[in-house]
Chain A
C-alpha cells in the first residue's frame, strides 16, 4: 500500500545521532512535510532519501524495491534545493531540459515537455533568460520546473520557500500546492516553517532532535498535539494552571473562580494545561470566565492581538476577529473557552 517506506532509519555521525529509528510510510500522490527546528534531523533524512548520505541503519524502500544504497543519479527523484542550485551558465530552457537530456530523450520531445512545464509554472516568456536575470520567485519556479519536467517518482523539497519574502512565499505556497495536485507527484517537503508545512501538506511529521514527535493531518495535530514540543512548535499557546475536581459525576477544571468541564479520569491539583490564543473568547457581557485586564492591543489587519494581564499569573494572549465593542487598554474582561479547546498532557 505504501509507496515509499522508511524503515528504522538511523544516521550516526561521529558522536552525534542525527536521526534515530525513523519510520514512515508515504502513500502515492501524498504531500508530506518533515517539520522541525534546525538540527532536528529533517534535512539529514531528506539527504538520505535523495541518496546523498547513507543511513547507518535501516532501509528505504520505494515501490517494494530497496533503494537504501542506490546512487543519487540512479534514483528517479526530483529535488528542489534551498538555494535552488540552478546552473548559472545555462538559461532557463537549458536548466529545465537538463534532466531530460541526461535521460537521452529525443530533442523534439524535450522541447515539448519543457514548454509544457514552463507554461505550468508561468515562465514561458523567460525561456532564454539566465538565472542571474530572474527574481527569487522566478528562480524558485525554474527549480521546481527542472525537477518536475521528467515526471520524477518522488519530489523532494528542501526548505524551498525560505529564501523568499513573506508575501511571495504565500503566493508560492498556493502555486506549489496547485502544481503538486495537477501533476500528482508524491512530494516530501522539509521545512522549519509550521505555517508552510500545515498549508501545503496532507500529513505533517513533526521532528525533534532526531525523533518523530507526531505524525498526522495538519488540523489534527494542531488541535491535538501529542506533546508540549508539538504544541509549542505549531503555534502560540497560553500556559495556565488549575485544579481538576469532581462535581456531580463530572470532572471540572477550576482556575481561580472560573470552572469549566474537562475530560479527565481522576482529580488532581495544580494541573498545567494550554489554550491556543485564537480559541479564547473575550466576554464583556457577564462575569463568566477568567478575570483579566487588557495590557496591550495590536491591530494586525486580519485579526487583533490582545495581551491580558492577570493578578498573579502569566499574561494571556488572545487573537480575535470578533466585532464586539472594542475594549481598550486598562479595561477588564472575562476570558473563557470551550472544554474541547483545552490541551492537557496528563501523565507527562
Chain B
C-alpha cells in the first residue's frame, strides 16, 4: 500500500530530475573542469575557476551591481505593490477585477517584448526621453537607455505584478471588520494603516520581496536590453562565458556562485521571517 503515494509522485519527481537536478549537476561538475583557448574543456578537476572568479575585482563589481540592483528593485516593487494593493482593497469588486486584469495582463506578454517596449519609450527618440525638452528643462532629449535608473524602472515594471499577487493573497485573508475595529478604538486612518493593516500584510509583503529579489538577481533579458554591455549583471556574464568566450567551466562556476548566493539569501531571510511570525500566523 505504501508504494502508491510514491508511484503517484514519481512523474513529477522524474520531471524534476531530468529537467532541473541533472542540468544543475552537469553545471556543478562542469564548474570544476579546466579550459584553455587551444584545447577546449579539459577533464581535470580543481577549484581553479572559483579561485579565478573570487580573486578578480571585475566579478566582484558585477556581483555587487546585481545584488544592489535586486535589492533596489525588490524594495521599489514592494512599496509600489503595498500602495496598489491598498487601493485595490478599497475598490468595489467590479473595479477590483478590472484593475487586477490590468495589473496581471502584462504577465501574458513576454518579458523581452515588454522590455523592448520600454526601450522604445526611453530610447534616444522615445516619448519619455523628449518630456524634459517639452518642459524646457533640457535642450537635448534625456534618454535612460544604458543607465542604471532605466534598468531599475523597467525591472520594477516587469516584476511588480509578483509583489502585488503576494500581497493580495494575504489581503484576501484579512478580516473585513479589522479596519472598523481599529477605527472604533479611536485610531486615526494613518495609525490603522501603520499599526494594523501593514503588520498583517507582512507575510505577503515579505514573500513578495523574496520572489522579486530572486527573479531580479537571475534576470537576463531586461538588464541585457536596457543596460547593455556597459552595465553587465551576473546572468549576462554567464551568458557571455558560455556563448562568446566559450569558457563553459568558468561560466558554470559563476552560475554556481549565483545559486549559492541566492540560496543563502533565501535561507536566512526565511529563517528570520519565520521566527518572527510563527506564533502570529499559524
Contacts and interface: CB of A to CB of B under 8 A. Distances in A.
Interface of A: 50-52, 71-79, 81-83, 85-89, 98-99, 102-103, 130, 132-133, 146-147, 150
A72 B280 contact: no
Nearest to A133: B279
B178 interface: yes
B112 interface: no
A331 B58 CA distance: 102
A88 B178 CA distance: 10
Contacts of B175: 81, 83, 85
B40 interface: no
Contacts of B184: 50, 72-73, 75, 77-79, 147
A275 to B, nearest CB: 42
Contacts of B183: 51-52, 71-73
A81 B177 contact: yes
22 contacts: A50-B184, A71-B183, A72-B183, A73-B183, A73-B187, A73-B189, A74-B186, A76-B186, A81-B180, A85-B175, A87-B182, A87-B196, A89-B199, A89-B202, A89-B280, A98-B182, A98-B185, A102-B186, A102-B187, A132-B279, A132-B280, A147-B184
Contacts of A147: 184-185
Interface size class of B (residues with CB under 8 A): 20 to 34
Interface in B180-211: 180-189, 191, 195-196, 199-200, 202
Nearest to A79: B184
Nearest to A76: B186
Contacts of A99: 185-186
Interface of B: 175-178, 180-189, 191, 195-196, 199-200, 202, 279-282
Interface centre among B176, B191, B195 (most CB of A within 10 A): B195
A96 B181 CA distance: 12
B177 A82 contact: yes
A132 B188 contact: no
B177 A89 contact: no
Interface of B is mostly: helix
Given A73-B187, A87-B196, A79 B180 contact: yes
B200 A72 contact: no
A107 B178 CA distance: 24
Contacts of A51: 183
Contacts of B282: 132-133
Contacts of A52: 180, 183
Contacts of A81: 175, 177, 180-181
Nearest to B192: A73
Contacts of A50: 180, 184
B280 A88 contact: yes
Given A78-B184, A88-B281, 15 more contacts: A52-B183, A71-B183, A79-B180, A79-B181, A82-B177, A83-B175, A83-B176, A89-B199, A99-B186, A102-B186, A102-B187, A102-B191, A130-B279, A132-B279, A147-B185
B279 A88 contact: no
B180 A89 contact: no
A132 B279 CA distance: 8
Contacts of A86: 181
Nearest to A156: B184
A132 B281 contact: yes
Nearest to B277: A89
Contacts of A71: 183
Contacts of B281: 88, 132
A83 B178 CA distance: 9
A226 to B, nearest CB: 33
Contacts of B186: 73-74, 76, 99, 102-103, 150
A49 to B, nearest CB: 11
Nearest to B189: A73
B276 to A, nearest CB: 10
A90 to B, nearest CB: 8
Contact of A89 (B182, B187, B188, B200): B200
B180 A98 contact: no
Nearest to A104: B186
Nearest to B199: A89
> Which 6 residue pairs spanning A and B have beta carbons closest together?
A85-B181, A99-B185, A79-B184, A85-B177, A81-B177, A72-B183
B172 to A, nearest CB: 15
B178 A87 contact: yes
Given A88-B200, A89-B280, A132-B279, A102 B185 contact: yes
Nearest to A78: B184
A74 B195 CA distance: 18
Contacts of B196: 87
Interface centre among B177, B185, B202, B282 (most CB of A within 10 A): B185
Contacts of A78: 184
A83 B177 contact: yes
Contact of A146 (B180, B185, B199, B280): B185
B279 A73 contact: no
Contacts of B178: 85, 87
